[in-house]
Structure 1
Amino acid sequence: MASVGCAVRNASHAGSWYTDDPRQLHRELTEWLGAAGSRCAQSARAIISPHAGYSYSGRVAAFAFKQIIPETVSIIFVLGPSHVMSLDTCALSTCSRYRTPIANMELKQTGAFSLMDLRNEEAEHSIEMQLPYIAKIMEKQSTNSYSIVPVLVGSLSPSKQASYGKIFSKYLSDPKIVFVVSSDFCHWGSRFHFMPHDN
């Protein structure tokens, strides 16, 4: 994997997996968050959010992101599974910012991780699909009041799971840090060899 840095990762799935029109995206996210009901008294420390196209997953993701209280957040870890490249570690971005149609977000580097190359990073959707929601919920906070740590997660051996678990555990204990875990949830249909049936 390349270690050459880049300034900004483009929103490569905007215009296909979700709209690239900032006003329309803002309207959609506002509507979905508004329909997601009330927020708990305390901010969620970790959420699980789907990463399909927003026409499939946008409304569902709102229920998770609604539970984050932005005023309490200084760092957001975004963990996403690797679909594009074979990976047996966790990898960080070499970029300093991520671009979304709503706002650019500053990245924070941390830990002893591999590095993603930009081509694979921009082809991967699991992390990017969380970014517009993060930009939306954090829109009233100053851009230098928080940063994100995107982590691409490969197929980890038990020993590597334990090793990364130790690294992440110290961040989980900090109430100003939130983890967003990007998930496939469930793929249905003949394409995935998984068909619903009646019991």
Structure 2
Amino acid sequence: MSKVRRATHAGSWYPDNVGELTCQLDSWLSKAKPVHSPARAIIAPHAGYYYCGGCSAHAYKQIDPTNIRRVFILGPSHHVRLSGCALSSCEKYQTPLYDLSIDSKVYNDLYATGLFENMSLDTDEEEHSIEMQLPFIAKVMESQKNDLTIVPVLVGSLSADKEQQYGKLFSKYLLDPENLFVISSDFCHWGRRFHYTFHDKSFGDIWQSIEALDRMGMDIIEKMGPSDFTRYLGDYNNTICGRHPIGVLLNAIESVHTKNGNRKMTFKFVKYAQSSQCRSTHDSSVSYAAGTLVVH
């Protein structure tokens, strides 16, 4: 590995100017409170910061950087079809704040399992689901930046069995208090352009139906049962783009519970937002949710 992955979405999806970006992140983080912390894992959205930055901050505010040395970032693949998971071919990921180094030892361990592909630089730089987490990670982890490494993982369209397989694999890393998991996911993508127009009129307007649908999924995630989450997705087809990374996390949690029944873990969503409120079939929106896992 010798390549550096450029911050290809800086200047469009978020500011490429250090001062402007820092001011933006500081402002959002100052408005959030650590209500379910310290996080061992978070779910955070990955849209443009204009839409979801405020929501993301509520997830990142739950992080205590003191003991964290390694951040796993699981993001869904939007452009390339994968039946498994893939790892970067780079050594570093650029952010406007500072570069983040990939943990080569963990990468070597993951490659040794035979379960990971290698993603091309083009695939890496085209994908936004991992990159959109990086400035928040760099900001929140600034005090540890000299000791910090990242483990970016691109997650494909996994079957339930594969979610379980990867979950078991990551469970040992989830137990390590020096590790943080960032699960990159938006929630419902609603509208004709997303080919999803589910509306339960018993909840009122379209946006209220969307929120009820999302919160149903969020409640299931909080109960941390992977099979229940899979069933929910099968019943409602909610367009949660990070459903497979979430599934991997839920299976990792279940694996921890199976092996270490005395380890108490709780998951809680601390913020929910929508890009706009849909009232007619001509409208569209994307939902965002910030969640956090605490190991007690």
Tell me if TM exceeds 0.5. yes
Residues of 2 paired with 1:174 and 1:101: CA distance? 29
1:80-135: per-residue Cα shift (whole Å, max 9, x none)? 00001000111111111100011100101241311110001100000000000000
Residue 134 of structure 1 aligns with an amino acid whose one-letter code is I
Larger RCO: 1 or 2 (CA < 8 Å, sep 6+): 1
Q: How much has 1:41 moved relative to structure 2? A: 7.4
Matched, 1:93 2:54: no
RMSD: 1.5
Q: TM-score, normalised by structure 1?
A: 0.91
Q: How much has 1:192 moved relative to structure 2? A: 1.5
Residues of 1 paired with 2:46 and 2:36: CA distance? 26
User: Could you tell me which residue of structure 2 aligns to residue 120 of structure 1?
Assistant: 123
More helix by share: 2
Within a 5 Å distance, the mapping from 1:103-114 to structure 2 comes to 103-108=98-103, 109=107, 110-112=109-111, 113-114=116-117
Tell me if structure 2 keeps the 8 A contact 1:50–1:182. Answer: yes
Residues of 1 paired with 2:18 and 2:192: CA distance? 35
User: Could you tell me which residue of structure 1 aligns to residue 287 of structure 2?
Assistant: none
User: Could you tell me which residue of structure 2 aligns to residue 71 of structure 1?
Assistant: 66
User: Could you tell me which residue of structure 2 aligns to residue 152 of structure 1?
Assistant: 154
Residues of 1 paired with 2:131 and 2:39: CA distance? 21
Q: How much has 1:43 moved relative to structure 2? A: 1.2
What fraction of aligned residue pairs are identical, expressed as a percent? 52
1:161-189: per-residue Cα shift (whole Å, max 9, x none)? 22211110010111111100000212133
User: Could you tell me which residue of structure 2 aligns to residue 10 of structure 1?
Assistant: 6
Residues of 1 paired with 2:102 and 2:84: CA distance? 20
Choose 1 or 2 for highest CA Rg: 2
Residues of 1 paired with 2:101 and 2:55: CA distance? 26
Residues of 2 paired with 1:142 and 1:77: CA distance? 15
User: Could you tell me which residue of structure 1 aligns to residue 20 of structure 2?
Assistant: 24
Secondary structure at the counterpart of residue 142 of structure 2: coil
Residue 151 of structure 2 aligns with an amino acid whose one-letter code is V
Residue 111 of structure 1 aligns with an amino acid whose one-letter code is L
Residues of 1 paired with 2:68 and 2:94: CA distance? 20
Aligned residue pair count: 193
Residues 1:190 and 1:32: Cα distance change in structure 2 (over 3 Å): same
Q: Which residue of 13, 32, 49 corresponds with 1:54?
A: 49
**Ranges in structure 2 where 5+ consecutive residues have no aligned partner:** 206-296
**Ranges in structure 1 where 5+ consecutive residues have no aligned partner:** none
Query: What stretches of structure 1 move > 6 A for 4+ residues in a row?
Result: none
Tell me if structure 2 keeps the 8 A contact 1:43–1:72. Answer: no
